[in-house]
Structure 1
């Protein structure tokens, strides 16, 4: 059956029936259409915290600025991939966190929020990268947040609390996964860890090749397991990275990490499985930072481009594109100036986090206006600037990934008049999310699945189940 006919006669025809019974067992999730060959490799791509509006706005931005589609939505426009919706709930809540969400893929079982492949009674579910490693494949993760963060960890290890990232770093040590790259120096450096353990030394003694900057990463060669750590915590937002030559020279992009990991892991004759995470998409959504969100989603889409280019040439690679959950439900909303307002993002130079860190107690409204104008090319009013300054004197705005207590919500509210982008909240949502696949095994996907279904689907696609 041709792919176009599959979309018309298979996926769409079964959509209604599947939606009425979304909680099927994995045996029913697999499409009865014969598989178009087994996948030797899998590239599993996660734009963490990507609400549908995030995917849409990145595509709109690329269309308006460059006259092209995103790589992800290009698959839809050209009917070259298989598309589904996914239910993201955890064992403890309709609204998952990233640990439980990644564990649903990694261990194939829903666990409580905050847990990594450990059930409520302490039962451990073997993570999928350990299964693939035992089968002889090269395995690894790359991310724009700490490599010890919830999403990569959910594919790799078992631990009761996602917050113990120092322990997660230790749990990685004996696994000797082929490529692990991202941020997270805070959890490897003796100078940063509370217990003063030098995890870099431990990884070196255990035969790892340790790289700490982009130049070292670009010079990597296969042969030893790789630990790449390029920032204390998360990597910088793409907006800020684009404006800083030093960051560009020292911190690789997600696309560069993806391309490097693929090139190294592809040397394994039995194939590879790689997880790629755009983790700062989630952090931007938590901060209601629309500029950072759009540019980091585009950076993730560039990594998709690397994965698809390899998969098209290779012919043996399944590419999975999805998110673990929605976050804050951003969207472009109607106004008489919606088009022009949205186009303001084309002139953004810095994230809201960067801008707000340049503002200090005692600054004048005029200086605040100038700072925002220089960084984002929008001119707020004196009253709005004064309102923003109040937060530096009296208001303590906390929030996830906001250790500096910056007034992120207030700036987002002010910006809506100038960008036409609004937000539903600053937290995860229970939305069903986008899921797309390309390559051998993609025809195993039905139009509506549970997150846990992907665990066995990957095993089926590679002939391991």
Structure 2
């Protein structure tokens, strides 16, 4: 064989280095003539209610809080964004400006415009095939993970088709009978157990033996005596009802229901996180179990993971719980990054369905800074004295110190009574947060007034009396739960926080994508959730991405 000259040898080494670079993460590799690897797996992660403001809360805490667990490391969201692509997405429904979770998730799942509070339907109300159903039809494994209820709007929209999100009993039945989802892990047991389990001793005993988890509340929301757990078992699903059962589960089909309704909120989870006695699995643990099972399918998989209680904290204007929910979600995101970081066959898309609460840090006229000195030359003859209070970084740690959600604080204040007193509420807030309410502020939280928008047939507006909201009251809609919002709004001035609503806003949300070479072309733009949905379906059905 003829020896290579110096120039050809240098060119060969350079080519080798180029190819070595291509072996790194696919979205950051150099362009070569080598064909882009096929997308075998698609992972969609949805932070329900996670607008740019909520991401900003997490990032400020991670980088600047004294007691941040990140300790100068980046968040998983930032890691994915740095390695992949970052864009934004609008999410408006077919006929309105502001979306709910059902419509938004439906648009992500189908790539088709939908309308308010519908599940898996187009704007006319006709069934549309979802990305999960496309994956199943092609022989791929499928999974749904959420820390809310399995029958809640977001997971439901990927696997079922119903006229309204409130039809959770019908959603539960469709999830089991359709047999489209191989792994389902969440809360919401109440929609899967028979109504007679409360009155019929034999039925209750059988259910207790089947579930074998004393901590679970066995109360049904069904109107019939169908036991969907038995039906699922007959269809080949393994069942799990606590963390240990989840870890020990075998096989390629799994139904895990770990709470009567929603699972532990972020604060409760972080308090129990390192306890060996923790019954509920975390969002991270459910996600990892789903990946373990689904990745066994040689054809690949589609998995949707929802951090759903970011939204619930936003609805309650509860900043401390919101921070913990973001931490919980980012922990699951980090686990996914660890799983995919050396792969070239997986597309990961992280986004939100909408923003909740109109949250933000803001500067105020309360506690204007006193004059102080700075060492710089420009301040030799001048004091440093900003005109307004721009927010103390210490607030981040104070939010992190919160011991109970506003729901928990309200329950503690009420005790065995139906309603707290001003004194009991101030005590409960002081016991569980780094902030305090005055008695006058507590009385404002407890104040009520005639409901100007009374509707006798409405789930929430049928009450003739409503918590008294002094501004933007039209945007606080959830009946007596608005008292929790009022806690948040009273504490807001001590937190340098503003809330504009108890519902959703139209704020475009971030889209972080990680995967093939052309991921930047496809996702680094402002688009609509229907566009994201179409791209997910393309990735599943053609195993490629198209700009």
TM-score range, shorter-chain basis? 0.7 to 0.9
Matched, 1:43 2:56: no
CA shift at 1:363, angstroms?
Answer: 5.4
2:157 aligned to which of 142, 154, 160: 154
CA shift at 1:103, angstroms?
Answer: 1.2
Whether the 8 Å CA contact 1:141–1:179 is kept in 2: the answer is: yes
Partner of 1:59: 59
2:226 aligned to which of 177, 197, 202: 197
Matched, 1:87 2:116: no
1:234-264 Cα offsets, whole Å, 9 max, x none, are 1121102333588962111111111111011
Gaps of 5+ in 1: 9-32
CA shift at 1:172, angstroms?
Answer: 0.9
Whether the 8 Å CA contact 1:342–1:421 is kept in 2: the answer is: no
Whether the 8 Å CA contact 1:222–1:265 is kept in 2: the answer is: no
Q: TM-score, normalised by structure 2?
A: 0.74
1:424-455 Cα offsets, whole Å, 9 max, x none, are 11111111110011122624324122211223
Whether the 8 Å CA contact 1:144–1:278 is kept in 2: the answer is: yes
Find the residue that maps to 1:38 and give its secondary structure.
Answer: coil
Whether the 8 Å CA contact 1:357–1:406 is kept in 2: the answer is: no
Whether the 8 Å CA contact 2:51–2:508 is kept in 1: the answer is: no
CA shift at 1:185, angstroms?
Answer: 1.2
Whether the 8 Å CA contact 2:111–2:533 is kept in 1: the answer is: yes
Partner of 1:434: 510
Find the residue that maps to 2:440 and give its secondary structure.
Answer: helix
Partner of 2:399: 345
Gaps of 5+ in 2: 1-17, 196-219, 364-388, 450-463, 469-474
Find the residue that maps to 1:124 and give its secondary structure.
Answer: coil
2:466 aligned to which of 385, 396, 403: 396
Separation in structure 2 between the aligned mates of residue 166 and residue 400 of structure 1, nearest angstrom: 27
After TM superposition, the structure 1 = structure 2 runs for residues 295-314 of structure 1, keeping only pairs within 5 Å, are 295-314=324-343
Matched, 1:186 2:190: yes
Whether the 8 Å CA contact 1:332–1:342 is kept in 2: the answer is: no
Rg (Cα) greater in structure: 2
Whether the 8 Å CA contact 2:44–2:303 is kept in 1: the answer is: yes
CA shift at 1:337, angstroms?
Answer: 4.5
After TM superposition, the structure 1 = structure 2 runs for residues 200-219 of structure 1, keeping only pairs within 5 Å, are 200-219=229-248
1:378 aligned to which of 435, 438, 444: 435
Whether the 8 Å CA contact 1:58–1:294 is kept in 2: the answer is: yes
Whether the 8 Å CA contact 1:143–1:183 is kept in 2: the answer is: yes
Q: 1:336 to 1:328 in 2, by over 3 A?
A: closer
CA shift at 1:175, angstroms?
Answer: 3.1
Partner of 2:495: 419
Whether the 8 Å CA contact 1:82–1:442 is kept in 2: the answer is: yes
RMSD of Structure 2 on Structure 1 (CA):
3.0
CA shift at 1:365, angstroms?
Answer: 4.3
CA shift at 1:418, angstroms?
Answer: 2.3
Separation in structure 2 between the aligned mates of residue 214 and residue 50 of structure 1, nearest angstrom: 27
Q: TM-score, normalised by structure 1?
A: 0.86
Matched, 1:240 2:268: yes
After TM superposition, the structure 1 = structure 2 runs for residues 314-333 of structure 1, keeping only pairs within 5 Å, are 314-333=343-362
Q: 1:332 to 1:247 in 2, by over 3 A?
A: farther
Q: 1:157 to 1:34 in 2, by over 3 A?
A: farther
Separation in structure 1 between the aligned mates of residue 326 and residue 34 of structure 2, nearest angstrom: 34
1:327-352 Cα offsets, whole Å, 9 max, x none, are 12201112254322233112111111
Matched, 1:359 2:413: yes
1:207-252 Cα offsets, whole Å, 9 max, x none, are 21111111111112233x2111111111121102333588962111
Partner of 1:117: 120
CA shift at 1:461, angstroms?
Answer: 2.9
Q: 1:35 to 1:127 in 2, by over 3 A?
A: farther
Q: Identify the range of structure 1 (103-112 vs 237-246) with the bigger mean alpha-carbon deviation.
A: 237-246
Partner of 2:80: 75
Find the residue that maps to 2:342 and give its secondary structure.
Answer: helix
Find the residue that maps to 1:43 and give its secondary structure.
Answer: strand
Matched, 1:280 2:309: yes
Partner of 1:13: none
Partner of 1:126: 129
Whether the 8 Å CA contact 1:149–1:165 is kept in 2: the answer is: yes
Whether the 8 Å CA contact 1:118–1:125 is kept in 2: the answer is: yes
CA shift at 1:124, angstroms?
Answer: 1.7
CA shift at 1:456, angstroms?
Answer: 2.7
CA shift at 1:55, angstroms?
Answer: 0.7
Separation in structure 1 between the aligned mates of residue 97 and residue 36 of structure 2, nearest angstrom: 34
Separation in structure 2 between the aligned mates of residue 400 and residue 34 of structure 1, nearest angstrom: 55
Q: 1:391 to 1:256 in 2, by over 3 A?
A: farther
Find the residue that maps to 1:298 and give its secondary structure.
Answer: helix
